[in-house]
Amino acid sequence: MIANRRSLLLGAGGALGAAALPRFAIAQADNRPSITIAVQKVSNSNTLEVLREQSNVGERVLFSSLWEGLIGRDWLGGLKAVPELATSWRRLSDSAIEMTLRQGVKFHNGDEMTAEDVAFTFGPERMFGDTAPTAQGRTIQISGERIPTRAGRDLPPEVPAVARRSFPALERVEIVDRYTVRFHNATPDVTLEGRLSRYGAQIISKRGYIEAETWFDWARKPILTGPYKVAEFRPDQSLRLVAHDEYWGGRPPLKEIRFIEVPEVSARINMLRSGEVQFACDIPPDQIADIERDRRYEVQGGTILNHRLTCFDKNHPQLVDPRVRRAFTHAIDRQAIVESLWAGRTVVPKGLQWDYYGDMFVSDWDVPKYDPAEARRLLREANYKGDPIPYRLLNNYYTNQTPTAQILVEMWKQVGLNVQIEMKENWSQILSREPGRAVRDWSNSAPFNDPVSSIVNQHGPNGQQQQVGEWSNEEMNRLSVELETSTDRARRKQAFRRMLEICEREDPAYTVLHQNATFTAMRRGTPWKAAPAFAMEFRANNWKG
């Protein structure tokens, strides 16, 4: 229908167009620069769908260039919440918010964004499947089966699982008029504004989604509102974005952005020096001095709202007794890791929390003390006999991941823990329920400034640890529901403190190693600044060339 309409218009106006235009039309030159960025990985899921690509690498590539939400982040202004696709919002009740949409926002296909697109974005066909809003802490298991929807398009099971992790009690989005929507929760939720700013709450084109032949066709070339749009995505190789010149925030400063996968750190650095790329990401701290020895280059970055963890599967025979897991936590000299592998460029945090939680930050909390004697005592009490404990590991998916693992294994060995590294190729192998899953690496972020964004989102009843069957705790699950639904801020903080006690000391689900940091190398004088996040910002406010 679109093609036919275009043909009719061309046919009707052909003679007029020929007479009105000069014989030779010269297009205005586009002198904007194009850049290439060498990254360790473009996508873990081989898609660009934000509900499936919930990862550090996904945040870097997708969050500020392609996907936009109703509430955004000021990447260079302390990551505070700012109006993005919504210009304003107001609370109607403890469980409802009304949002006024920005007018004139164009999707990558030229359509204007309206309330209909927002409602569809948060609807069952695209986000929730057949899952229901709940405050009962129901765990949504990832079965591997695709979930049918009324539109006839099956959703990958991880999509509604992530959606309910992010919006456990979202009931519906009411369309008030073309530019006004109301979000209705099934329960009270003091964090609803934060949820609407988080990774996964970004708005899609309803027509773009429906017209895609398959879900994967959509997920590899989504129709969005961001300053850049997908030109070519080659899974496991590269992603090419081009400027979306109808962008509501003004003409993007770059003509093209190309992300290419270069797994080896040395190769990324060499490509920067040869001029093949303009940015080399995920630079280990021990490489920074060597890069900056050449005054033509600099490295930017630092700590971000992400912590590196070691996670436990309490179902493994050697980890059923929580005293063994507690021994793991006391055997780690975290400060030694920070000093030896990170050159002091990061810190050991106060558990799985960040000070930007404000009043919800538990300031007198600490990670388990480095105490090898206590670790040995716990192992004796648990009657651990030195049986092997597998440690599933990726090869430097995280900066310094492999050397960190090697140091950890030696620290654990010093107290009598027989931990054996098993190298894996991808996250599917890491999380597989096949026998032998015991210890693994992970990182957790805080997408907004409340504990539900991390400890509940990742370790609560709908969190990944419980979705994959690694860990569960009945009291923790009850407290997760309380943290999500209570409007009593003092009581919420008490609940959060108790959750830290359970997850980090009594029945360890994980142990925090250090705050994560990310470093990016570039030619000195490049008109770009690194944000305190994995995301790379390339709007006009962060490219001054």
Locate the domains of the chain by residue range: 34-134+155-278, 304-517
Between residues 357 and 5, which one has the greater pLDDT? Answer: 357
pLDDT value at residue 130 = 87
pLDDT value at residue 149 = 55
Single-letter residue type at 427 = W
Task: Write the pLDDT tens digit of every residue in 139-164.
Answer: 454 455 555 554 446 888 889 989 99
pLDDT value at residue 28 = 64
What does the mean pLDDT of the chain come to? 91
Measured distance CA(502)–CA(146) in Å, rounded: 34
Question: In this structure, are residues 508 and 323 in contact, taking their beta carbons and an 8 Å threshold?
Answer: no
Q: What angle do CA 440, 443, 445 make, to 5 degrees?
A: 155
Measured distance CA(496)–CA(452) in Å, rounded: 9
Has residue 370 got a pLDDT over 60? Answer: yes
Has residue 442 got a pLDDT over 50? Answer: yes
pLDDT value at residue 276 = 98
CATH of domain 304-517: 3.10.105.10
State the pTM of this model: 0.89
Measured distance CA(269)–CA(280) in Å, rounded: 6
Measured distance CA(168)–CA(186) in Å, rounded: 9
Across residues 46-58, what is the average pLDDT?
92
pLDDT value at residue 466 = 93
Residue 243 backbone phi and psi in degrees, to 5? -65, 140
Across residues 73-80, what is the average pLDDT?
89
Across residues 332-358, what is the average pLDDT?
97
Confidence band (pLDDT; 50, 70, 90) for 20? very low
Task: Write the pLDDT tens digit of every residue in 21-36.
Answer: 444 444 568 899 999 9
Measured distance CA(368)–CA(380) in Å, rounded: 19
Has residue 262 got a pLDDT over 70? Answer: yes
- Supply 522's token pair: 């570039």
CATH superfamily of 34-134+155-278: Periplasmic binding protein-like II (3.40.190.10)
Has residue 460 got a pLDDT over 70? Answer: yes
Has residue 275 got a pLDDT over 60? Answer: yes
pLDDT value at residue 158 = 86
pLDDT value at residue 352 = 98
Per-residue three-class SS string for 365-408: CCCCCCCHHHHHHHHHHCCCCCCCEEEEECCCCCCCHHHHHHHH
